[in-house]
Amino acid sequence: MTISVGDKLPEATFNIMTAEGPSQVTASELFDGRKVVLFAVPGAFTPTCHMKHLPGFVSHAAELKAKGVDTIACTAVNDVFVMNAWAEQSGAKDKITFLADGSANFAKAIGMDLDASGLGMGIRSKRYSMLVDDGVVKVINEEEAPGKAEVSSAETILAAL
């Protein structure tokens, strides 16, 4: 079942990179009592993700925070080292929290997993953005195709705030 507006996010554990090295953060630590913009991409460094989706959240980070967003987070079915390299290379490290969902556990738990085996990428996440307030989904914008980054854009979330 795909997550919907009004649903509480399930508990999950993400891998993150800290100054001390790889660590973990739970969904409740990240979302409870906070307003979070979460967006997901099928893969770090892939063309649409890297050149179209992520840049909008980087360039609109200050505007999103000015509208009361505590955290902007990006999740992908990649390992923590790839997500950290992407954060550093894209210049987004200080603006966006990068959440590695390496085994697609979170993507599967919210019904947003994507079988990209035909492209040699295995199980990935669908592309979406959502506004989460105190762990509850307030807005969700799912792309119809993984190569599109339109309805899940930073501008769409910004307009919903």
Per-domain boundaries in the chain = 13-160
* pTM to 2 decimal places: 0.93
Position 53 scores a pLDDT of 86
* Terminal Cα-to-Cα distance of the chain (whole angstroms): 26
Our answer to whether residue 49 is catalytic in this structure is yes
Confidence of residue 45 (pLDDT cuts 50, 70, 90): confident
Among the listed residues 8, 42, 44, the one whose alpha carbon sits nearest the alpha carbon of residue 27: 8
Q: How many CB atoms lie within 10 A of CB 2?
A: 12
pLDDT digits (tens, 9 = 90+) for 108-120: 999 999 988 887 7
Backbone phi, then psi, for 127, in 5-degree steps? Answer: -90, 125
Residue pair 78/44 in contact (Cβ under 8 Å)? The answer is: yes
CA distance 60 to 155: 8
Confidence of residue 156 (pLDDT cuts 50, 70, 90): very high
pLDDT digits (tens, 9 = 90+) for 10-23: 999 999 999 999 99
The fold of 13-160 is Glutaredoxin (3.40.30)
Q: For residues 19 and 122, which has the higher predicted lDDT (pLDDT)? A: 19
Backbone phi, then psi, for 86, in 5-degree steps? Answer: -65, -45
Tally of residues, the chain: 161
CA distance 39 to 24: 18
The per-residue pLDDT of the chain, averaged, comes to 93
Tokens of 77: 């079915």
DSSP-assigned beta bridge partners for residue 98: 74
The active-site residue, picked from 36, 49, 100, 112, is 49
